[in-house]
Amino acid sequence: DAIRTWYGKDPDFRRNCHDVMHIVGVAAYTEFAGGGPVTARDEASYCGYGFYHGFIEKMLVEQGTGQYKDVSAYCAELKVTKPEAAGPCYHGIGHAVFDSIDGSLWGDDVAMVGFALDVCRAALPGEWERVRCGSGVFNALANAYSARTYGLSFVEGKPPSLCGNVPLAYQDFCNMELGNGYIRDMQWEQTREMDFIRSIEDSAAREAVIIGYMDTEVKRTIDAIDVGSLVRLCNSFSHGGDIRACVAGVYTGLKGIGEPGKEHDLAQSFCRSMDDSYRVACAADTR
């Protein structure tokens, strides 16, 4: 109830709710480590599942690098008790894997990603789980570029090019995270951001970047969400695939910042405002 109350009253809390839920997840791990049950309460889904990201990262820190049996079992149980939370759970593993990479690899993004994805593949049983783990790896990599940590940084005029060299199953999340991270780090005006997106020749890569961009565009404007403006922005794309990607990105963004307990309401309102031919993209959220 406190999270829901603060979310409704405090704009600063709304902007930082995901990070707050990270902290809650870290604290909750202490109870779990003492023999408590797997956390599957509805409240754990608040603010883009930040709870699970924090919980899983803390679990891996406490159990030690390379100890993935328990954390894998935890996420596997969530697939049964709270299926929609399983993806964020495996995403959290990817975060923790990347942030525990040995310093000898720092500064070499290709080597760092290769090592982290190898861990995802070795620690987890199936491709779906491994790809979600990979999504956390690429999100952590984008964060590292932006924060100038681990010897990494974005360079204007040189967007990261490693996504084309990772296994195909991981490329969408790679492009989504790194493409959007690069755009945000450049701090361009929106017109230039959109020009950059449209300049991406590979349609699959472009659509992945659009999803990531629109997801964060929603979160960037959290204090004054204008659904009509979002619809117009999506309709400004000329290719049907780009429009569908835009719709999907807005949907996930709206769901992620929705009022706790009512996460889908604003997203569904947006979907109803789209043409029928694109409304299907709202139901295709598999992240």
Give per-residue pLDDT as tens, 251-271: 888 887 766 666 677 777 777
234 with 274: CB under 8 angstroms?
Answer: yes
Give the model's pLDDT for residue 286. 41
Taking the C-alpha atoms of residue 5 and residue 260, their distance in angstroms, rounded to an integer, is: 9
Taking the C-alpha atoms of residue 207 and residue 246, their distance in angstroms, rounded to an integer, is: 8
Tokens describing residue 23: 């902290």
- Model-level pTM? 0.85
Tokens describing residue 12: 């600063």
User: pLDDT below 50 — which residues of the chain?
Assistant: 286-287
Give the model's pLDDT for residue 154. 97
Tokens describing residue 7: 């979310």
Give the model's pLDDT for residue 287. 44
CA angle 157, 160, 164 (to 5 degrees): 130
Give the model's pLDDT for residue 206. 97
Tokens describing residue 259: 């009022």
Give the model's pLDDT for residue 25. 85
Contacts of 92 (CB under 8 A, 6+ apart): 52, 53, 54, 55, 56, 57, 136
